[in-house]
Amino acid sequence: MTIVATNSTPLSTLHFDNRFVRELPADPLTENQRRQVMKSCYSYIEPTQVKHPQLLAYSKEVAQLIDLDEQDCFSSLFTQVFSGNKVLNGMQPYAQCYGGHQFGNWAGQLGDGRAINLGEVVNQQGQRHTLQLKGAGETPYSRSADGLAVLRSSVREFLCSEAMFHLGVPTTRALSLITTGESVVRDMFYDGRPKAEPGAIVCRVAPSFLRFGSYELFSARGDIDTLKQLVDYTIRTDFPHIGEPSVEVYLNWFKEVCERTADMIVHWMRVGFVHGVMNTDNMSILGLTIDYGPYGWLEDYNPDWTPNTTDANSRRYRFGHQPQIAQWNLFQLANAIYPLIEQAEPLQEIIQNYTHVYTEKWQLMRTDKLGLNSFVSETDDALNHELHEILQLAETDMTIFYRKLADLDTESLEQSDQQLLASLMDAYYAPDALTTNDKTRICNWLRDYQKRVQLDGTPDTVRKQKMNAVNPKYVLRNYMAQLAIDEAEQGDFTLINELLELLRHPYDEQIDMEHHAAKRPDWARERAGCSMLSCSS
């Protein structure tokens, strides 16, 4: 591989400006023991040393964010630093303290149980990026766990972080995927049959890893002084454009958090992504997708589907419920910051307005997915509602359906039912299961859609280009990630890097990669790791 020199900063001389630890209160205790940490936003902690770290993959785009080039990323120093074996000058490793609501119930203190923040890099453009190792060992917040991560969950986190970014979804990023050379014991199915698996560490990158639960914990404890410090720090560091902290600014900040959260959820719905664990400790204050555990993409368009085996009965975090859960979580954040505002009415108004904000953004998103020029409620409410219904008539692959819909001829209204359906048949898992009534209903919708496009006067070539810019051809289906995991566990990392490259261009045709655009194969329906996932990692 040819290494090309770039205008970069050597890894050993990265500029760290650790504002989080400089301006916020630290845990006064330094021993690495599980405990309740009071009046502190973090605990200093060193990553656990590992025996034989090996770099499997890295994101060149994320490396560039922190001014590193290819030569840096293939260096021994890079592998040592991002496996936790070496701490660079300027790094101040720590684990965050936060709480959260899990599956609707207050869980108290949670914290970074297996994540260690190395420090905040300020790049040549003055942008701040926090570097965080996931799976780097025990912290005071590890509770009964070991603070480690296995290869399978790390592959999923690494690939999905970058896939989501290139899909245009707000997300944390992933710099590197490194194996530790050590085994980690996990009970994947919670069935009393634990086994040893390869350990791995992902370096995650984001401007901030603060969560809703970061604020909830101090409010729940009545520690309003620390709550105020944290909120003021957040505004000054990540929301400086809204002004110096005050009651009015707190409200404007909360309003922006609501808007960013709505944006994120709309993007999830656009690409068919299901987070799976929308606990308040997994909700970024910046409106970024964070904590990739049991996630998945809709393959069969089923609004009640959840990828999380823990959520299989209640389906609290199912695809179609994500907008409402986001609002519920924002309500918990409003409760947390209420002591700084002491006015319920403006907070309630912002929460209630979330529905309006989300609906507007959702309507615009649906308009783009259908290649229309604007949302016209008189026609498009019914059009969208009926589309939602026909997608559920038979097992329909959402990703493929929208890409095939872009190929529909809308300029000719003289097509038979068979001609209309021809371009869509690849989207159905069992096309023979479509009844005559199903086909009639689908064709009626397609004709309504043709007429709606003709009202816009948009040529098919233009409409197709618009649709294919927002409807991906390639998403990280769970079975694809599982195949990469299978090979990686046998020492072959080729598919990880092939998928990383594929997912850099999810809207492009990529002729040589057509096999990755196919429906989920039948063998993957029930196989572990290919559909639903557990929270175990």
SS3 14: coil
Give CA separation, 408 vs 200, 423, 460, in Å: 45, 7, 8
Q: Are the CB atoms for 475 and 295 separated by under 8 Å? A: no
Helix 224-238 × helix 247-271 angle, to 10°: 70
| Known active-site residue 281 | yes
Catalytic one of 27, 232, 281, 380: 281
Question: Alpha helix locations (H) across 317-343?
Answer: 322-341
The burial class, CB within 10 Å (0-12 / 13-18 / 19+), for 87 is middle
User: Helix, strand, or coil here: 70?
Assistant: helix
| CA-wise closest residue to 117 among 23, 10, 42 | 42
Looking at residue 241, what DSSP letter applies? Answer: G
Instruction: Check if the beta carbon of residue 215 is closer than 8 Å to that of residue 230.
Output: yes
Give bridge partners of residue 55 from the DSSP assignment: 178
Q: Residue 354 corresponds to which tokens in the numbers above?
A: 């979330």
Q: How far apart are CA 278 and CA 100, in angstroms?
A: 10
Listed residue (233, 257, 259, 227) closest to 245, CA to CA: 233
28 torsion bin: left (phi>0), alpha (psi -120 to 50), beta (else): alpha
Token readout for 368 is 């783009």
- In angstroms, rounded to a whole number, what is the distance separating the alpha carbons of residues 422 and 424? 6
Residue type, 78: F
Q: Which residues are catalytic?
A: 281
